[in-house]
Amino acid sequence: MFISPAFAQASGGLAEGGFGLLPIIFVMVIFYFLLIRPQQKRAKQHKEMLGALRRGDKIITSGGLTGSIVKVVDDSETVEVEIAKDVKVHIVRSMIADIQNKTEPVKKK
């Protein structure tokens, strides 16, 4: 009665419609550059490291075991690791966390 209908409907439609999504998009961009992208980089480096495993490399597993690689089969999911003298175990490649000492490649004759 005291407020006209035209005045009551003009409640800033542009401010909510166009700029309401801007903070959400900004947060998503920040998450991408601070969380997702570095994680993808780390995963790529880990995959390259696992592809370059050779016999004789000293490794550390994600469980904390250390040992020396005895046998690597390229199309196999596991590698054979010697963790003590005459104690050999098969370890899944993805559980290898780091390579301590990298051996030189075998020279072809």
Is the predicted pLDDT of residue 12 greater than 70, yes or no? Answer: no
Tell me, which fold does domain 54-109 have in CATH? SH3 type barrels. (2.30.30)
pLDDT tens-digit map of 29-72: 999 999 999 999 999 999 999 988 999 999 999 999 999 999 99
Whole-prediction pTM: 0.67
One DSSP character per residue, 2-63 reads -S-HHHHH-S-HHHHHTTSSHHHHHHHHHHIIIIIHHHHHHHHHHHHHHHT--TT-EEEETT
Quick one: pLDDT at residue 73? 86
pLDDT in tens, 63-83: 999 999 999 988 889 999 999
Report the C-alpha gap between 63 and 72 in whole angstroms: 20
CA dist., res. 20 & res. 94, Å (int): 43
Torsion angles phi and psi, residue 97, rounded to 5: -90, -40
End-to-end Cα, the chain, rounded Å? 99
